[in-house]
Structure 1
């Protein structure tokens, strides 16, 4: 079995502030109640995106309350991302195994001084084996609550998952797996990793291009 390891680390932070348009509706003061309700419903439908029959406000702050958050795991609790690919967290950092050597524990520290948990950042560790990529890393230092991670690879966009310890440790781990295209070598496989918070803003980002 051929095994290729590539470790990359980096950190960047980008912030975005998005404004939200507000809309108000009014019916004639002397219109019957049913007439006013009908007029308001028609205006709401007109404001909805094409092909959708729903009020435009359905994607507002109320929808963001349901944004995903990291899976909370106990220290040492193992999560199986794929056969042979397991991850677990301790207060010291991220531990993992890969399919080519499932008996070998690998480790990325959050306390050895190699990362600054006060500055937003993302790291990546990857193994490409038998046509599959096993990707994971740390994220740390961002504001708010991490919610999603998107990884741009030579095989396309990959949506990963997040893990954190209980409380507010200020860091967590992300992971993902995907197929590898024949023309997607390990040196250029991962080009961008973006972690966003529950409001859709960038929590931390890494660009390797």
Structure 2
């Protein structure tokens, strides 16, 4: 399939430095009429305040929870982009692309072509004049899948994960890549990595 791919990227960084004015005030070293009793009272109050501060428990920082796949019902359609939809059944992954919105494609997880006991990732891709529509299966990894990164000729693309209920041991990933003119080729994607909730590699596909 001949594809022309387009990608626009821009970044802007703005920094502002604000000056802070300071002022100093003179304070008498010793009050002229202070008594020993008053000085002792001040010391006692200061010690009590320090003890209260020391005994006040620190509030724990809220712990961020790593994302997990979106759980979908069998046959539930997920729209990744106009014309690009995915859905799962116990047999595997179905999807449509903008060029074939009425002709679903299918990848099986039960026909023996993949070993769901061994970590693995598959990929299917289709492009048009400005995008590449990417999806595939992931399976067999340890822990809980959390995120997917796709390394392309134009940089890293972050996709999403979906799974059926009940921890089936496999799921589907998908992403849409905006690409630059001239980037289109069969080796546009070099690597697909699914990470688990601890940041480790759940499964990976290397294409070059």
TM range (shorter): 0.7 to 0.9
Q: 1:186: Cα distance to partner?
A: 2.7
Runs of 4+ in 1 over 6 A off after TM superposition: none
Q: 1:126: Cα distance to partner?
A: 0.2
Measured in 2, the distance between the counterparts of 1:33 and 1:97 equals 67
* Aligned pairs for 1:120-199 within 5 A: 120-199=119-198
Q: 1:170: Cα distance to partner?
A: 0.3
* Aligned pairs for 1:1-150 within 5 A: 32-34=50-52, 36=54, 58=61, 62-63=63-64, 66-150=65-149
CA gap of 1:37–1:152, structure 2 versus 1, over 3 A, is: farther
> Can you give the 5+ residue segments of structure 2 that lack an aligned partner in the other structure?
4-48
Q: Give a deviation string over 1:44-98, Cα, whole Å, max 9, x none.
A: xxxxxxxxxxx9x859xx43xx110100000000001000000000000000000
Q: 1:37: Cα distance to partner?
A: 6.7
Measured in 1, the distance between the counterparts of 2:96 and 2:185 equals 18
Q: Which TM-score applies when normalising by structure 2?
A: 0.72
Q: 1:35: Cα distance to partner?
A: 5.8
Bigger-Rg structure (1/2): 2
Q: 1:133: Cα distance to partner?
A: 0.4
Q: Which TM-score applies when normalising by structure 1?
A: 0.72
> Can you give the 5+ residue segments of structure 1 that lack an aligned partner in the other structure?
5-30, 42-54
Aligned length, in residue pairs: 164
Q: CA RMSD in A?
A: 2.3
Q: Give a deviation string over 1:14-63, Cα, whole Å, max 9, x none.
A: xxxxxxxxxxxxxxxxx94356479x98xxxxxxxxxxxxx9x859xx43
